[in-house]
Amino acid sequence: MCVDKIFEIEQITRRGAGAKGRRPVQPRLALVIPCYNEEDMLPITFAKIGAFLQALVEQGLCAPDSYLVFVDDGSKDRTWSLIVERSASEPDRFRGIKLASNVGHQNALLSGLFYVTDHCDISVSIDADLQDDLNAIQEMIAAYQAGAELVLGVRKSRDTDTRFKRSSARGFYKMMKWMGVNLVEDHADFRLMSNVALQNLMQYRERNLFLRGLIPILHQDIAFVYYDRLERVAGVSKYPLSKMLMLAWNGVTSFSIKPLRVITAVGLLVFGCSLLMTLYALLGSAVGRVVPGWTSTVIPIYLIGGLNMSAIGVLGEYIGKIFIEVKRRPRFVVDRLTTERNAVDEP
């Protein structure tokens, strides 16, 4: 399998990651942490996740040369300065990627995953707020050693969410299932991926990439680890309702053409209703019960006008995605790395 490599930072010999029965006893682990305006949270994250990784190394669960990669997604605070300072103090353990602009959580995470591909045996993606339980990573590594190429962190419950967020999340997963998108319910971006899965991910080159929808099709050997989500201890959430709705819409339009088929079905339904209303209007005119010309004029205007507006909107969304794809602009551009002086652009 020939795939262009994005980051050629160092030459590393692959140690058989993903080959059943030949897994390294101490796999090299790369933790990928996207960050956006996390100035308040990062000192806590550095301390906790650094100590946790060191504990994994001491327990023999991962190789001594395991490391952490913090991706600054165009932050406007001191996020990058803090990453640089920490990387300077422990360059072998802490690494940083600064993106040229804010490209969103999913693309920021993707840049980190591309960075570690072929430079680790396994990667674990986790948010900088550490609401995902670090202790679940030990279970993920155990599942990897048992043969899984993908290990997905799944929330045990949503008791800590508001009623609106719980109901909207349930509705989202039901809608995506109806659309034909195979999502793992209550799984976000807390997951372990072997290098085999990372190599498979690199084959997907589309600009409008919905990572959560791709994960279940990257490999058949999937395991699940269930955990309780923790409270954020500093900073504020970077995923307001507007961003969650945009992510959901992107997931629908990236993986399903069912909205276009729904438009066709609604069009046929409206056409049938229009025929019935036409017959009703003709009968009404014949017996003199309606104002002449009112029904036959107003009803088609409302029905057809509303249908056309919604159809144009959905079609425009898909055409817009085609427009973005054909330009082949990069999903992210790396401004600088803590391990390199020069910027590296994604092809």
Angle at CA of residue 273, ends 272 and 279, nearest 5°: 95
Q: How far is CA 9 from the centre of its chain?
A: 25
Q: Across the beta sheet with 191-194, what order do the strands follow?
A: 222-227, 150-155, 191-194, 122-125, 29-35, 67-72, 94-99, 334-337
Identify the bridge partners of residue 225 per DSSP, sorted by sequence position. 153
What values do phi and psi take at 270, rounded to 5?
-65, -40
pTM comes to 0.72
Tokens 């909207």, located at residue: 168
Residue 342 reports pLDDT greater than 50: no
Rounded (10°) CA dihedral 284, 287, 293, 299 = -10
239 — pLDDT class (breaks 50, 70, 90): low
**Mean pLDDT on 14-41:** 77
How far is it, in rounded angstroms, from Cα 192 to Cα 322? 31
What integer best gives the mean pLDDT of the chain?
Answer: 78
Residues whose CB falls within 8 Å of the CB of residue 55, separated by 6 or more in sequence, listed in order: none
Give the SS3 label for residue 96: strand
What values do phi and psi take at 152, rounded to 5?
-100, 130
Residue 117 reports pLDDT greater than 60: yes
Give the pLDDT confidence of 271-326 residue by residue, as tens digits: 677 767 767 766 766 776 665 666 667 667 766 776 776 777 777 777 777 777 77
How far is it, in rounded angstroms, from Cα 162 to Cα 233? 18
Q: For residues 340 and 187, which has the higher predicted lDDT (pLDDT)?
A: 187
pLDDT given at position 295? 60
Residue 11 reports pLDDT greater than 60: no
Give the SS3 label for residue 87: helix
247 — pLDDT class (breaks 50, 70, 90): low
Determine contact, residues 29/116, Cβ cutoff 8 Å. no
Q: For residues 9 and 47, which has the higher predicted lDDT (pLDDT)?
A: 47
Give the pLDDT confidence of 54-78 residue by residue, as tens digits: 999 999 999 999 999 999 998 999 9
AA identity, residue 171? G
Encoded tokens for 190: 């807390």
Q: For residues 290 and 22, which has the higher predicted lDDT (pLDDT)?
A: 22
Residue 242 reports pLDDT greater than 80: no
pLDDT given at position 343? 36
Give the pLDDT confidence of 118-136 residue by residue, as tens digits: 899 999 999 998 889 999 9
What values do phi and psi take at 235, rounded to 5?
75, -175
How far is it, in rounded angstroms, from Cα 16 to Cα 22? 6
Percent of the chain with pLDDT over 90: 35
29 — pLDDT class (breaks 50, 70, 90): very high
Identify the bridge partners of residue 32 per DSSP, sorted by sequence position. 69, 125
pLDDT given at position 328? 76
Angle at CA of residue 122, ends 120 and 127, nearest 5°: 105
pLDDT given at position 5? 37
